[in-house]
């Protein structure tokens, strides 16, 4: 049977939500997709469960029976029989599969399921067990796929489904609190109606055009019509997020709405996730507990994770999964204990797929927003991590990367890193106030599976979206309305097309400055200032002599010392952050309580008590 590729939802969901019967063909196509166990079938299962819980009486008997059969026959976890190639393990998929198994089991508690012949109540217990771990870890450690304008849709939507339909009040409370944290992230890093921050996982379309972000429907529903593609109250029915927009219970706290819509200046410092050496001590547990946390980080082939990876790969018989098939040749070596040493010798480029702890600085103003992951594993391999971005009104994004290439040529894995996705090798990045310094050092040891290493970095600067652009030999500046941005390069620039500026060399650097006309004058004056600011690079020290627009704020130099601190006017800058530090609240790493307040409103989340207080 040919399976039609579908969105995660379909237009008929709007009819059902309005109390009308729908064209059921699209719903049946979702069933076909789920039955075929194609990757991301779990996204479609979210929609099937929403329909089955919320509007069963509006379905024909035949279609309802078909939906039930699909729910009862699905594979909900890796330890079950199945030779498919679904991705179960990333942060968002672990959440979705657990939510779906829990709700499916509660829907049919006394029915024996097909793929794993257990009663529904057993299914519900299995899903709940995984959910409790996932939710507690997110509250404690934050989100590994930090600030992702793609994957936050896949966290927020299933949790809203859980809040709507979970019979367990304790679990509903946990899901509500984690939803609050996700919406808080959206609010903190919202600019001009968009979610435009440094990110653990981000793709080309969403980086280059904030209007393409997968969370835009959620932003519009949560914070107002700006950012909602179809207008207030009209979700895109083909998106997974339609289930969030049509939610019944979850209400966004007023303080989070106030933060999202603030037009004042805010500096925000956040920390998400763990570094690989932290996992064993902070997560602990047995092979399955540690291994699933490593896999949630996409850390399969690192010295810290490889033993747990191979143990789970063998235990669950995952050789047929196309995402993991390349691990099979290493299975015979697992009992020897030599795999961590082998990884160190081979230095596989796949190590860069691992998403480690981020410390993100974001400065949000009425005219621009700047966001950067401070010093995120410089000179190491990268994948989908989006390390810095400047955003101006009108969906203008500016960022630079070292273009990479996929390590595999199959469709399952052959899409990152890429020309504009992630980095082949990560730059060293520091941001402060309205400035970013990013240094690309492309020397160093090659890695196993590493494609040809390109010897340049490049800047995305969409000239056609600006009102005015000026270009020099080693700088480019633009104005959008009253907003200004200038970029200084260490080496001469070569423009390629209307969006790309290339800086050739094994050692390159970018200095980025945001401002506005009231502060820095018209573009010509601002550009003279940017052009005059020298950017000096060596492998030991990169120093940017800041333009006049920064010097007016009392700053002269921004520097990065290899193996040493980031420096502002010669003094070290702190780049290791607590969970949250801003004028809305201060939260340490691994908190038990999170409290924020703004504009006379507040929210207190107490995890040990599972209480949520608002004022």
CB 443 within 8 A of CB 422: no
Residues 585 and 544 in one domain: no
Residues 321 and 426 in one domain: no
In a domain, 269, yes or no: no
Q: What is the pLDDT of residues 153-168, one digit of tens each?
A: 999 999 999 999 999 9
CB 166 within 8 A of CB 247: no
pLDDT, residue 112, reads 99
Q: How confident is the model at residue 1 (pLDDT cuts 50, 70, 90)?
A: very low
In a domain, 268, yes or no: no
Residues 361 and 344 in one domain: no
pLDDT, residue 2, reads 54
CB 463 within 8 A of CB 419: no
Residues 254 and 146 in one domain: yes
What mean pLDDT, rounded, does the chain reach? Answer: 96
The yes-or-no verdict on residue 261 having pLDDT over 90 is yes
Q: What is the pLDDT of residues 316-365, one digit of tens each?
A: 999 999 999 999 999 999 999 999 999 999 999 999 999 999 999 999 99
pLDDT, residue 192, reads 96
Residues 200 and 298 in one domain: no
Domain count, the chain: 4
Q: What is the pLDDT of residues 491-514, one digit of tens each?
A: 999 999 999 999 999 999 999 999
The yes-or-no verdict on residue 228 having pLDDT over 90 is no
Final residue belonging to a domain, choices 295, 317, 352: 352
pLDDT, residue 3, reads 62
In a domain, 477, yes or no: yes
Q: What is the pLDDT of residues 567-590, one digit of tens each?
A: 999 999 999 999 999 999 999 999
The yes-or-no verdict on residue 227 having pLDDT over 60 is no
Residue at token pair 């927009």: 245
Residues 563 and 584 in one domain: no
Looking at the chain, the whole-number percentage of residues with pLDDT higher than 90 is: 94
The yes-or-no verdict on residue 119 having pLDDT over 60 is yes
> Domain of 607?
580-614
CA distance 388 to 371: 6
Q: What is the pTM of this model?
A: 0.97
pLDDT, residue 555, reads 87
Residues 118 and 99 in one domain: yes
The yes-or-no verdict on residue 231 having pLDDT over 60 is no
Residues 413 and 284 in one domain: no
The yes-or-no verdict on residue 149 having pLDDT over 50 is yes
Say what the alpha-carbon torsion angle 157, 193, 15, 9 is, to the nearest 10 degrees.
-40
pLDDT, residue 73, reads 99
**C-alpha pair distances (Å), 46 with each of 34, 200, 203, 223:** 10, 24, 23, 23
Residues 200 and 143 in one domain: yes
Final residue belonging to a domain, choices 237, 262, 287: 262
pLDDT, residue 33, reads 98
pLDDT, residue 384, reads 97
The yes-or-no verdict on residue 475 having pLDDT over 90 is yes
Average pLDDT of 474-480? Answer: 99
Final residue belonging to a domain, choices 311, 336, 352: 352
Helices (H), 316-449: 339-346
The yes-or-no verdict on residue 520 having pLDDT over 60 is yes
Which residues on neighbouring strands pair with residue 391, listed in sequence order? 369, 397
């Amino acid at each position: 049977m040919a399976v039609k590729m579908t969105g995660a939802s379909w237009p008929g969901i709007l009819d059902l939500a309005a109390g009308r019967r729908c064209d059921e063909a699209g719903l049946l196509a979702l069933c076909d997709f789920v039955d075929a166990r194609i990757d991301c079938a779990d996204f479609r299962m979210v929609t099937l469960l929403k329909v089955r819980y919320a509007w069963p009486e509006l379905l024909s008997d035949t279609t309802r029976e078909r939906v039930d059969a699909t729910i009862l026959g699905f594979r909900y976890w890796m330890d079950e029989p199945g030779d498919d190639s679904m991705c179960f393990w990333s942060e968002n998929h672990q959440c979705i599969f657990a939510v779906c198994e829990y709700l499916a089991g509660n829907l049919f508690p006394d029915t024996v399921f097909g793929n794993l012949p257990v009663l529904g109540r057993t299914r519900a217990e299995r899903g709940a067990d995984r959910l409790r771990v996932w939710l507690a870890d997110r509250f404690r450690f934050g989100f590994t796929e930090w600030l992702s304008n793609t994957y936050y849709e896949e966290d927020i939507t299933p949790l809203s489904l859980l809040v709507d339909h979970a019979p367990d009040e304790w679990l509903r409370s946990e899901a509500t609190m984690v939803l609050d944290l996700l919406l808080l992230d959206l609010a903190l890093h919202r600019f001009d109606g968009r979610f435009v921050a440094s990110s653990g996982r981000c793709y080309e379309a969403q980086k280059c055009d904030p209007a393409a972000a997968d969370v835009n429907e959620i932003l519009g529903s949560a914070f107002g019509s700006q950012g909602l593609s179809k207008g207030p109250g009209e979700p895109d029915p083909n998106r997974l997020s339609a289930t969030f927009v049509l939610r019944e219970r979850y209400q966004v706290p007023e303080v989070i709405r106030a933060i999202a819509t603030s037009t004042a200046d805010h500096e925000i410092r956040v920390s998400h996730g763990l570094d690989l050496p932290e996992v064993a001590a902070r997560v602990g547990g047995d092979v399955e507990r540690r291994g699933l946390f490593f896999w949630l980080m996409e850390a399969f082939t690192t010295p810290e994770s490889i033993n747990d990876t191979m143990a789970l790969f063998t235990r669950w018989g995952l050789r047929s999964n196309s995402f993991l098939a390349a691990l099979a040749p290493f299975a015979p070596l697992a009992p020897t204990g030599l795999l961590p040493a082998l990884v160190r010798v081979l230095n596989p480029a796949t190590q860069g797929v691992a998403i480690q702890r981020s410390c993100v600085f974001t400065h949000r103003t009425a005219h621009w927003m700047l966001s950067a992951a401070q010093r995120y594993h410089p000179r190491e391999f990268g994948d989908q991590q989006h390390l810095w971005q400047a955003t101006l009104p009108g969906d203008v994004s500016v960022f630079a990367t070292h273009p990479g290439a996929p390590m595999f040529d199959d469709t399952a894995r052959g899409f990152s890193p890429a020309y504009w996705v992630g980095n082949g090798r990560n730059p060293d990045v520091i941001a402060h106030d309205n400035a970013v310094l990013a240094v690309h050092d492309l020397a160093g040891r090659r890695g196993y599976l590493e494609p040809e290493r390109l010897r340049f970095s490049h800047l995305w600067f969409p000239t056609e979206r600006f009102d005015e652009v000026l270009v020099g030999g080693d700088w480019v500046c633009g104005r959008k309305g009253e907003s200004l941005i200038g970029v200084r390069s260490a080496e001469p620039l070569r423009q390629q097309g209307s969006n790309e500026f290339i800086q050739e060399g094994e050692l390159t650097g970018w200095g980025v400055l945001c401002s506005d006309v009231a502060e820095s004058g018209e573009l010509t004056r601002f550009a003279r200032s940017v052009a005059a600011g020298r950017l000096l690079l060596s492998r030991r020290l990169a120093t940017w002599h800041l333009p006049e627009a920064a010097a007016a704020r009392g700053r002269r130099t921004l520097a990065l010392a290899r193996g040493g601190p980031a420096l502002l006017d010669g003094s070290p800058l702190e780049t290791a952050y607590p969970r949250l530090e801003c004028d809305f609240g201060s939260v340490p790493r691994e908190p038990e309580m999170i409290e924020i307040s703004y504009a006379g409103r507040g929210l207190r989340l107490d995890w040990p008590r599972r209480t949520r207080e608002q004022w």
